[in-house]
Amino acid sequence: MNINTDVIMNTYSRFPICFERGEGMYLYDIDGKKYLDFVAGIAVNSLGHANPKLGETIAKQAMTLIHCSNLYYTVPQIKLAEKLVEKTDFDKVFFCNSGAESVESALKLARKYAYMKGKPGTEIIAMEHSFHGRTYGAVTATGQEKYQKGLGEMLPNIIHVPYNDFDALKAAVSEKTCAILMEVMQGEGGIIPADKEYLQNVRKLCDEKDILLMFDEVQTGVGRCGELFAYQVYGVAPDCLSTAKGLAGGVPIGAFMAKESAAKAFNPGDHASTFGRNPLATSCGLVVMNELFEGGLLENVKKNGQYLGEALKNLAKKHEKMVSDVRGMGFMWGMELKGEAAPIIKKCIDAGLLLVGAGPNVIRFVPPLIASKEDIDEMAKILDKALE
């Protein structure tokens, strides 16, 4: 690899790999080495790499209209919002460009909702070990101190309680609480699914106290967990939902959705985005939605997601000295090791398999939603050797 990395700001611990192109489940670096991709840009490339339908849509839309102000409507924006509303419990959609922005939208709406209702407090309860992004609001809501270190004052009135602990949450709720924010399955925190009963109890509590329940499905959303959104796997709908990552197959996009009762707290001028809902991103979102529902992609995640889970559990049994747990759903799994995950991930990368960690001890598996049984077998073979 002969490139000038000095010009790039030092915000990531990067691998010395420079990618040039991709095709389906594979990425190719500038030296021609081929990698099986079980990272998918961290749960982003839902259709795999160089998907022809996505590429053609981008080319066509780029020659038609890339951007115009949010002072006007565009047809792809309306069509994607209609599709999201049709397939979920929400009535309104706000488009932005990233996961953190969709979380910021949730934090702002929560406080506007309290203001609209004349409620006394602006406190938001978030979860320990959560991850919500890097903007100041989202990083304040993130329940991991390492992301806040050295940044000075965080946003006021955001507190954290242990995840999956209903008693702790209930005890923290007060007159001041306006919203509860959580992931349905914690991603960066180590692939930790919520308990169903916990989510049901939280929903009930929010209804009783008129508190907004806000799910961050930036990582778990858009088919990754076997339904369009992971909350649909649990059958517990929040009042608002933030999503991003895979929604446009790799083109930057975020979406914040809310039920009418909550969405009406936003009025013209309250929230905005220059690039949000641009026709390029939203037309790509339509391609992804179409593939999920008409192209068999959701079915693939359901079927092969189970196969992926079984493959990982078999490896855990075989390497029980190394592996302490396997958990997840759909195409989002974590393998918890008794030691550090980084050396195993490095071995896999050297052998041509891309994996990513989720915390120090967990290997994460978030392949493109097109992954086949053969791809899973190929991944398991390389991981098996690395664990040996």
Ligand X SMILES: Cc1ncc(COP(=O)(O)O)c(C=O)c1O
Site of interaction with ligand X (CB under 6 A): 42, 98-100, 103, 131-133, 183, 187-188, 216, 218-219, 244
Please, which residue, 126 or 206, has the CB nearer to ligand X? 126
Residue 43 C-beta: closest distance to ligand X, Å: 7
Residue 188 C-beta: closest distance to ligand X, Å: 5
Pick from 54, 47, 104: nearest CA to 281: 54
DSSP lists the bridge partners of residue 150 as none
Please, which residue, 242 or 311, has the CB nearer to ligand X? 242
Residue 244 C-beta: closest distance to ligand X, Å: 5
Please, which residue, 140 or 387, has the CB nearer to ligand X? 140
Please, which residue, 214 or 323, has the CB nearer to ligand X? 214
DSSP lists the bridge partners of residue 362 as 336
- Report the amino acid identity of residue 26: Y
Backbone angles phi, psi at 335, to 5 degrees: -115, 115
Residue 221 C-beta: closest distance to ligand X, Å: 9
Distance CA 29, CA 293 (A): 32
Residue 98 C-beta: closest distance to ligand X, Å: 4
Give the residue at shortest CB distance from ligand X. Answer: 99
Residue 381 C-beta: closest distance to ligand X, Å: 28
Tokens of 142: 């993130």
Residue 174 C-beta: closest distance to ligand X, Å: 26
Please, which residue, 37 or 188, has the CB nearer to ligand X? 188
Please, which residue, 216 or 291, has the CB nearer to ligand X? 216
Please, which residue, 252 or 305, has the CB nearer to ligand X? 252
Residue 327 C-beta: closest distance to ligand X, Å: 16
Please, which residue, 98 or 105, has the CB nearer to ligand X? 98
Per-residue HEC secondary structure of the chain comes to CCCCHHHCCCCCCCCCCCEEEEEECEEEECCCCEEEECCHHHHCCCCCECCHHHHHHHHHHHCCCCCCCCCCCCHHHHHHHHHHHHHCCCCEEEEECCHHHHHHHHHHHHHHHHHHHCCCCCEEEEECCCCCCCCHHHHHHCCCHHHCCCCCCCCCCEEEECCCCHHHHHHHCCCCEEEEEEECEECCCCCEECCHHHHHHHHHHHHHHCCEEEEECCCCCCCCCCCCCHHHHHCCCCCEEEECHHHHECECCEEEEECHHHHCCCCCCCCCCCCCCCHHHHHHHHHHHHHHHCCCHHHHHHHHHHHHHHHHHHHHHHCCCCEEEEEEECCEEEEEECCCCHHHHHHHHHCCEECEECCCCEEEECCCCCCCHHHHHHHHHHHHHHHC
Please, which residue, 47 or 323, has the CB nearer to ligand X? 47
**Residue corresponding to tokens 């979102």:** 285
Please, which residue, 131 or 166, has the CB nearer to ligand X? 131
Residue 341 C-beta: closest distance to ligand X, Å: 17
Residue 49 C-beta: closest distance to ligand X, Å: 19
Please say whether the beta carbons of 215 and 183 come within 8 A.
Answer: yes
